[in-house]
């Protein structure tokens, strides 16, 4: 697997293999695209979560003055950007400036699937209280090329759980799995 360069990302966007909305050329790095924190955050309604049950979230809007996230709480955020990847594996990583503030943007879900078409839900946690703002740079998307044909694109899988387009964070759908 190889990481796409800035020129390759642009070429793949022109071909429709990568979609980023809204797109701003100034957010394109050497081999990544910067994404931004959307205006919605969510927290789980219950402190104890059950993997076999639907754990609902309360969604709220980050105000103009920002919002202070607290340690020991999982916040579900969302990227401002809607993305599609029809030929490449997208990876979402936190920006180093975010890491240096003690913020993690994903617990385990940094890799997307070929065929993923949506905004990215972020699993935000922090080491100490940090004020965050809607629209702030939060992560970067990196695209990997793959070898071979795709048989089962994510957006056409019968059991795909995160395909409904949304500008709000989505809670875990683990409860839909059979175990």
Best CA proximity match to 84, nearest among 33, 27, 149, 44: 33
Could you give the residue numbers annotated as active site?
123
What's the pTM value of the predicted model, to 2 decimals?
Answer: 0.92
Domain that residue 16 falls in: 6-44+57-148+167-173
Residue 112 is assigned to a structural domain of this protein: yes
Would you say 3 and 140 are in contact if contact means Cβ atoms under 8 Å apart? Answer: no
pLDDT tens digits along 106-163: 977 778 889 989 999 999 999 999 999 999 999 999 999 988 888 877 776 677 777 7
CB atoms within 10 A of CB 142: 20
CATH code where residue 61 lies: 2.70.40.10
pLDDT tens digits along 32-41: 999 999 999 9
Q: How many domains does the chain have?
A: 1
Would you say 167 and 118 are in contact if contact means Cβ atoms under 8 Å apart? Answer: no
pLDDT tens digits along 160-173: 777 778 899 988 88
Residue 119 is assigned to a structural domain of this protein: yes
CB atoms within 10 A of CB 164: 8
pLDDT tens digits along 77-99: 999 999 999 999 999 999 999 99
């Amino acid at each position: 697997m190889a990481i796409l360069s800035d020129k390759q990302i642009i070429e793949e966007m022109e071909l429709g293999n990568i979609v980023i909305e809204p797109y701003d050329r100034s957010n394109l790095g050497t081999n990544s695209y910067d994404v931004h924190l959307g205006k919605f955050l969510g927290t789980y309604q219950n402190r104890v979560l059950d993997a076999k049950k639907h754990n609902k979230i309360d969604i709220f809007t980050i105000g103009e003055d920002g919002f202070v996230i607290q340690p020991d709480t999982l916040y579900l955020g969302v990227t401002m950007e809607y993305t599609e990847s029809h030929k490449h594996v997208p990876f979402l990583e936190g920006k180093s400036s975010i890491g240096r503030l003690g913020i993690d943007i994903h617990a385990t879900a940094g890799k997307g699937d070929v065929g993923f078409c949506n905004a990215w839900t972020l699993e935000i946690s922090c080491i100490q209280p940090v004020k965050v703002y809607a629209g702030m740079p939060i992560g970067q998307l990196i695209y990997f090329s793959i070898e071979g044909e795709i048989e089962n694109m994510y957006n056409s899988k019968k059991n795909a759980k995160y395909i409904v387009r949304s500008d709000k964070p989505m809670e875990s759908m683990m409860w839909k799995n059979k175990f």
